[in-house]
Structures are given as C-alpha cells and as structure tokens.
Amino acid sequence: MLVDLKEMEIKKLSEIYDPGSRESFVSLYMNLEKTNERFVERRKMACRSVLKENRELMENFDKTMLNIEKYLSINDREHGQKGLAIFASNEHDFFKAYKLGMPVEDLMVVNTSPYIRPIIKLIEDYETLGLVILDNHRARIYVVSSGRIEDKNKLARDIMNKHKKGGMSQARFQRLRRGAIEHFMTEVLDEMVRLFSKDNVVKIVIAGPGNAKILLMDFLPNELKNETLDLIDMDFDEADGFLISRAEEAVLKDEKETVSKNVARLKEEILKHGLAVYGLNDIIDAVKNGHIELLLVSKGYKLKGWICEKCQLFDSGINDKCPNCSGKVSQVDVIEEIIDFAQRSDTKIEFVDDNPILHELGGVGGLLRFKI
C-alpha cells in the first residue's frame, strides 16, 4: 500500500551505515510517471564498472540488485502510486521498499548508508495539509498527506431554515438562523480539531462561497488560525476539480515566504553574532552535537569529502587517513553526512533555491537552538 512519508522512519534510516564505511547500500528512487525503462540497467552497469576492483563490494552489489529486480518484477504498481523508493544491502540483510503517492526524480546511489536526501525533500514539500470546503449548511473536510487526499468527513445540516417564517418576528427568525449557523460552525470546528490533531496537520486551507469561510475563521482558536494559509472563494459543488490545485498554490507560496524569512533570520543572526552557525567546520560540530534547530541547505549542493571508518570524523577535501585516529577513510558527500546527523537529532531541514547569502556561506547555514 502507499506509505505516508511520516511513517517511513527516516530517523532510523539516517542511523544505518556500513561500520566499515564501504559502499554496501543501494538507494533507488523511481519516478513511475515517466521512468525510462533502461534507467536501472544503465545505472547498474555504470556502478558495476566502478565497483569491479573490489570483489566483495561487487558481489554484494550484484546480490543486492538481484533482490531489487526481483521486487520490481513481482510487485505491481498500485492505484495512485507515482513513485518508489528502495533501500537495500544484501550484506547487511537489509531491504526496505516504499510505494509513494508522489513522483520522485530517478536516482540510484551506492553509498555507505541509505541515501535519504530526496525523502527529506519530499517530506518538506508534502507536509500534511488540511482542507475545508463549506457554505452555510454543508462542509467537507479533507486531509492531504504525502500526496494523497482522503475525504475524512462530510457534515450536512439544513440550517438555512428555508420554510416560511409563519408568525415569527423577523428578529426571532434571525436569532434562530444565527444560532443554527453558529451551532454548525462549532460542529465543523470540533471535527477539524479532532481530525487535524490525529493526522498532525500543519497547514490549513479553507474554501467556499460567500462569507461562510470568514465566519469559520472567527470560530477558530489561535493555533488553527496561525496554521491557516489562505481563504479561497470557490463554489461548494465545483470544488472537487479545483480545490487541490488551488491549495497547492497556497502552500507553495507559503513555503517560499517561509524559506525567505528563515534566510533573512539567518542573515540577521549573523550580523548580531547571535543564534547562527556557518562555515563548514562549525556546521559539522554543531550538527553532530544536536545544537542546530534549523538547517538551511542549497538545493542540489554537494561537496566531496571523506569520513573515518573508525571514529566517524568527516570533512571536505581529500585525506589518506584520519587526522584524529589515523583510521582508514572513505569518500563521501559531506552535505549528505551533515543531513544524516541533522535527521538523527530531529533538526528541521529546509532546501533553498539559489540564494546569494547561502551561496556565500558555502551552501549551508544553521539557526541554533541556543547560544553556544
């Protein structure tokens, strides 16, 4: 079945690595909407040509790929599945496959640990979203998680009281009508709180015709108001075809604004010598010790480096042996190692489009939990 990204135990994946720092793990990402059928075969041939000098690594890679290919041959694509992520190592008797409800970039990485950067980026892009569409007598609540939408609940109440007023005064009729609407809004709010708390919703979009959505906002507690990104004017009966795309536009706009604010905050903290960390060595020290609250990484940025097989010290550049313990070192992507350590310490990670400030800082910067 399709997996919710938050169920993937990314933190556990980040803690898995080959104790000998050897390239024994294969991470495969496939975009099932447009994957070239020969992609896996081409990458397999390229990786074999590099690994053939090491008999043990070659044997492990071949057996790992057999396990992956067997899985691909017997597991059918599910309805709504757009992507696939597999992490495997025959030597370590490890195999995890995740069917995804969103596309991913085709990628095969052979490394000392599962390559999780694309998954972390997906989690950032697909935070759980709550959608509410309502008018004065109907409401439908959706939860969109990991690219999937679930129609969680539908409330329908004939509260407009369309029958004739009879002998009621206009004032009494309006009081009854207003009371019915308030009762309905309270029911909608109760369902939002219940469902959105259960599904860990972090962003909300409210849509509908007229002023019903504005009335609902007046009922929301500050916590839900702060999570509400946008109010969209939309006909209730036409919402199914447009609501998701309109909500995604609101989320994308909010994400860009949030990243921009965080980069500006990083700049401000640097200028006042406050809760900012920058420079590769300081970033590495801070992330290893769990001091970073938010890690900002330039999208696609990679940096060649090394890691010690014995003490796990890592740095950029080239080294024949570890300067700390004289242990054997292996080549790694330093940024990937930083991301792994950040994930282990529950550090929030944001990937930033081309930004001159972050570029000048070497592609990574951090906001600290506290002054160190």
pLDDT at residue 162, as a whole number: 42
Q: What digits encode the pLDDT tens for the residues 77-86?
A: 888 788 899 9
Q: Tokens 């940025």 — which residue?
A: 301
pLDDT at 340 over 50: yes
Locate 302 and state its tokens: 């990679």
Q: What digits encode the pLDDT tens for the residues 194-234?
A: 888 877 788 899 988 888 889 899 889 999 999 998 898 88
Query: Which segment, 125-134, 161-170, 188-197, is predicted with the most confidence on average?
Result: 188-197
What Rg value do the Cα atoms of the chain yield, rounded?
26
Distance of alpha carbon 12 from the chain centroid: 16
Whether the CB-CB separation of 27 and 109 falls below 8 Å is answered with: yes
pLDDT at residue 161, as a whole number: 38
Percent of the chain with pLDDT over 90: 29
CATH tag, 127-241: 3.30.420.60
Q: Which residue has the higher pLDDT, 85 or 147?
A: 85
Q: Tokens 């990786």 — which residue?
A: 47
Q: How confident is the model at residue 88 (pLDDT cuts 50, 70, 90)?
A: very high
pLDDT at 367 over 80: yes
Please give the average per-residue pLDDT across 70-77, as a whole number: 90
Q: What digits encode the pLDDT tens for the residues 113-127?
A: 899 988 888 877 767
Residue 38 amino acid letter: R
Architecture of the domain made up of 1-116: 2-Layer Sandwich (3.30)
pLDDT at residue 52, as a whole number: 86
Please give the average per-residue pLDDT across 152-169, as a whole number: 49
Angstrom distances, CA of residue 359 to CA of 107, 278, 326, 367: 25, 11, 33, 16
Q: What is the DSSP letter of 111?
A: E
Whether the CB-CB separation of 206 and 132 falls below 8 Å is answered with: yes
Q: Which residue has the higher pLDDT, 203 or 312?
A: 203
Q: Which residue has the higher pLDDT, 190 or 165?
A: 190
pLDDT at 163 over 90: no
Q: How confident is the model at residue 7 (pLDDT cuts 50, 70, 90)?
A: low
Cα within 13 Å of Cα(293), Cβ side: 11
Whether the CB-CB separation of 292 and 347 falls below 8 Å is answered with: yes
205 backbone dihedrals φ, ψ, rounded to 5°? -125, 130
| Topology alike, domains 1-116 and 127-241 | no
Q: What digits encode the pLDDT tens for the residues 237-287?
A: 877 667 777 877 887 888 888 888 999 999 999 999 999 999 888 999 999
Burial of 92 (0-12, 13-18, 19+ CB in 10 A): middle
Specify the CATH class of 256-372 in words: alpha beta
pLDDT at residue 147, as a whole number: 57
